[in-house]
Copies of this chain bind each other. A is one copy, B any other.
Amino acid sequence: MTRWLDEDEQRAWRALLSAIEALQTGVDAQLQAEAGMPHTYYELLVRLSEAPDRSRRMSALADAAGSSRSRLSHAVGQLERRGWIRRETCPTDRRGQIAVLTDDGYAALEQAAPGHVEQVRRLVFDRLTAVQVQQLRRIGEAVAATPG
Q: A residues near B, CB below 8 A?
A: 2-5, 8-9, 11-24, 26, 43, 66, 113-114, 117-118, 120-125, 127-128, 130, 132-145, 148
Contact = CB atoms under 8 A, between A and B. Distances in A.
Contact of A8 (B127, B137, B139, B145): B137
Nearest to A22: B144
A78 B104 CA distance: 41
B130 A145 contact: no
Interface of A is mostly: helix
B5 A125 contact: yes
Given A122-B148, A135-B132, A139-B132, A20 B23 contact: yes
A123 B140 CA distance: 11
A59 to B, nearest CB: 16
A118 B2 contact: yes
B135 A139 contact: yes
B136 A139 contact: yes
B18 A140 contact: yes
Contacts of A26: 148
Nearest to A40: B21
Contacts of A136: 12, 15-16, 135, 139
Nearest to A134: B8
A19 B138 CA distance: 11
Contacts of A113: 2
Given A12-B137, A15-B140, A43-B17, A2 B124 contact: no
